[in-house]
Structure 1
Amino acid sequence: MNVHSAEMVYSHSFEQLEIQNKPKRFKTNPRNQFPLLKLPRVVLLECIENLDVLEIILFSLISKRAKTIAKLVHWSPLDIHLGTECGPQIVLKCYTDPDNEWVIEYNEDREPSEYPYFDSEETDLTVLHYLFLNDNGNAIEDSKQMTAHICEVFRSPISGIDLCEESEIEWIIKFQPTLRNVWIWDDAITSVETLDHTFKNLKVTNYFYLESVSTVEKFQYKEPIPARFLSIRNSYWLTLPSILNGTNSCVRLQDSKLTPKDINTLLKKWQMGLKLRTLEYLEIKSFTPLDVESFTNEALKDLVWTNGDENDGRPTNVEIDDDSTYTLPEVQTVKNLIRNDGMIGSIFEVFEDDNMELCFSFQVWSKQI
């Protein structure tokens, strides 16, 4: 079901939403339904200003006139996240109403005639309000149209998106090339050309997560990737210049091909104040023939450091977003480097994780006076 062919269905859904909480003894006679759209505009605006998020969306889908009217109201901005990893889902949050979330999902659990339908769920922190729409085999395209409609009505951009297919990447580049948070999952990027096109045309201002690049072609990427928090799972292709010349605050790399010598260069450039001025945390996991001691010795070669302990005021997490953080590994001691401006760079003990990868962690912080 797309936005442009849904007027009658959503009109009925809007009426159902209005009466669903009424006692069952009350029956609605279609002849007695209130002619909302026939009210004078001033009165109508006062009425719809009291609707919740799902009601506003359903009202705006009734007709072009209803959409025009809905856009006249200055709604509170929405946080809009479009997810497609586990099926199309649009998650909406309102900054002025943190106790509620609204979720639009597409599924095929019921007969087509039963859609749309509603449900709710209460968690420890919020109440989730669901609107379920029929997945008629074109749910991803329908969710794109619905998201675009919501953005227009509420005058709010998409804040975050999950991308699972190359076509979705191209769509978001054309629709809204700047986003706060982006997750690109396995097999969404199938070539080096697509990867380069994505980095050059999609601007991520906060969190950028990238899984595997699905290509047998071996390649290296040397350009900076602009994002405050960068996390790459299969990062064998990311090179030393990409990190050194970037402005990332946090970088987490798995399956990295960066060597202990590369890490040594990173640390020296940081300590001299020549590079990585905005870095807060760096984590590199790599498969290497070196043992932990040899890896550590090479990474720290010619560096002057002092021992620090867990009680020296070093923060235990890194902020990802306004309401989420990344908890740092727990260690008893660290090796501290001091930059010329007094910033401290703590080198965590190199260790082997459950996947037999060696993990190197480096945190930048300052003591509170």
Structure 2
Amino acid sequence: MTEELSFLIDVFLHIFLGLIAGYFLAFSIEALFAGWKVFKSKLKPKRRFPLLQLPRKALLECIENLDVLEIIQFSLLSKRSKTIAKRIRWNPIDIRWASGEEQQICLKLPTDPGLEWIIHYDKKKKFIPIHCPWKYPYFGSTLLGPKSLHCLILKDNGIEDITQMMEHVCEVFRSPIREMHITEESLIEWIIKFQPIIRHVCIRKDVILSVESLDRILKNLEVTESFRSDYHAYFQYKEPIPSRCITIYNSHWLTLTSILTGNNSIIFLYDSKLTPTDINTILKEWQMGFKLRNLEFMAIEVFTFLDIHRYSNEVLNSFPNSVENNGRPMTVKVHDDDIWTLPEGPPVHNIIRSDGMILSIFRHDDVIEGEKIRIFWELQVWNQQT
């Protein structure tokens, strides 16, 4: 019994001494690493260039040579850095709020169209491991043919962060938003208050749920160049859309009344529910000259089970075809640098108005599902004297 007790005490002492030794060893290693970090920091101290301590003239010259993303980063450092960045008279810059799966603020100088800077808000990477070589924010660059893209990638923390960044960018560069993609309803109120006049607007899916919401946009936001919608509406809209160019996908909600009372120059209607009689009415109203006075080009996509020849005859009913195509332009300017090319072949029909203007009608059709036919009408307005 005594020998067994002695053996157990001996084992216990070995274990106890081992634990104490392990503790002091771990403590020593930790202390060693801590000491090494201090030594390393003293051996190679961080030296940063005192940019804000430069004389004012030298400081402004330095900032003027930064690229767009560097200017934005500098202006976000402090109130003073933002004030300094605003003092410089920057060249006008195109600012777009674009959206796909994720949100982007896209910046481009008109003098250098091949170069674009993008602030990209990343939703996919919800968690970045500590050992990962990159963390938010990080940079990326890529070449797409003749174009060069430089990206600043930030974590997407919600719309409020993006609107604050957009306001900051507009203030620093003293430039308005050129194009806005509205991806959720809260952005309607924001853009109306921040910038009620804008060149281009795109309404994404599931944003507009009522006639009242659409009215709120069209009556309080002046879209001077192009209005585009991708949403699925479950209502009928009878008011005009006051923009030079309109592009409407899933356009079954846009009525004939809205088209005829508008002053649009360019109209694209995809998946339209206009009937042959409706399209015939559009042609008649244009020819009479009281409506659609500003029309330059119109495209209508329809789907039908009707016989294509019968459908076409209903559309062109009562219109003689007696105009030659000499001098017809082959392109139409949609907006800015967007050019639409017309078919080279002759139109299926020409209509002339009393003031000499000509409406050339092109038709493209193909069977897509069983006997269902897709018809794409192109209506081009031009002057034979040009």
Shorter-chain TM band: 0.7 to 0.9
2:46 equivalent to 1:46: no
Output aligned runs, 1:60-209, within 5 Å: 60-107=75-122, 109=125, 110-111=128-129, 114-135=135-156, 138-209=157-228
Identify the range of structure 1 (323-332 vs 163-172) with the bigger mean alpha-carbon deviation: 323-332
Cα offset for 1:128?
0.9
SS in 1 for 2:295: coil
State the distance in 1 between where 2:344 and 2:207 align. 34
- Residue type at the aligned position of 1:94: L
Structure 1 residue runs of 5 or longer lacking an equivalent are: 1-28
State the distance in 1 between where 2:51 and 2:342 align. 55
Aligned pair in 2 of structure 1 residues 84, 340: CA closer, same or farther (>3 Å)? same
2:375 equivalent to 1:358: yes
Quick one: higher RCO (CA 8 Å, sep 6+), 1 or 2? 1
Structure-2 residue corresponding to 1:11? none
CA-to-aligned-CA distance 1:71-120 (integer Å, 9 cap, x gap):
11110011011123321111100122233110111225444872211121
State the distance in 1 between where 2:129 and 2:323 align. 66
State the distance in 2 between where 1:126 and 1:320 align. 23
Look at both structures and tell me which one has the larger radius of gyration over its CA atoms.
2
State the distance in 2 between where 1:292 and 1:255 align. 17
2:358 equivalent to 1:344: yes
Identify the range of structure 1 (155-164 vs 260-269) with the bigger mean alpha-carbon deviation: 260-269
SS in 1 for 2:153: strand
State the distance in 1 between where 2:202 and 2:267 align. 15
SS in 2 for 1:75: coil
CA-to-aligned-CA distance 1:107-159 (integer Å, 9 cap, x gap):
25444872211121122222111111123xx2432221111100000011111
Q: Is the 8 A contact 1:344 1:364 kept in 2?
A: yes
Q: Is the 8 A contact 1:283 1:360 kept in 2?
A: yes
State the distance in 2 between where 1:358 and 1:70 align. 54
Q: Is the 8 A contact 1:292 1:350 kept in 2?
A: no
Q: Is the 8 A contact 2:323 2:351 kept in 1?
A: no
Identity of aligned residues (%): 53
* TM-score of the pair, normalised by structure 1: 0.83
Identify the range of structure 1 (349-358 vs 316-325) with the bigger mean alpha-carbon deviation: 349-358
SS in 2 for 1:340: coil
SS in 2 for 1:156: coil
Q: Is the 8 A contact 2:289 2:353 kept in 1?
A: yes
- Equivalent residue for 1:316, pick from 303, 325, 330: 330
Q: Is the 8 A contact 1:85 1:164 kept in 2?
A: no
Cα offset for 1:329?
4.9
- Equivalent residue for 2:238, pick from 222, 236, 247: 222
- Residue type at the aligned position of 2:332: V
State the distance in 2 between where 1:297 and 1:66 align. 68
- Residue type at the aligned position of 1:263: I
Q: How many residues align?
A: 334
Q: Is the 8 A contact 2:205 2:231 kept in 1?
A: yes
Q: Is the 8 A contact 2:347 2:361 kept in 1?
A: no
Structure-1 residue corresponding to 2:349? 335
More helix by share: 2
Cα offset for 1:368?
5.5
State the distance in 2 between where 1:146 and 1:132 align. 13
State the distance in 1 between where 2:192 and 2:367 align. 37
Output aligned runs, 1:177-326, within 5 Å: 177-215=196-234, 219-306=235-322, 308=324, 312-326=326-340
CA RMSD of aligned residues (A): 2.2
Q: Is the 8 A contact 1:247 1:276 kept in 2?
A: yes
- Residue type at the aligned position of 2:182: L
SS in 2 for 1:319: strand
Aligned pair in 2 of structure 1 residues 99, 288: CA closer, same or farther (>3 Å)? closer
SS in 2 for 1:56: helix
Q: Is the 8 A contact 1:308 1:334 kept in 2?
A: no
State the distance in 1 between where 2:285 and 2:273 align. 19
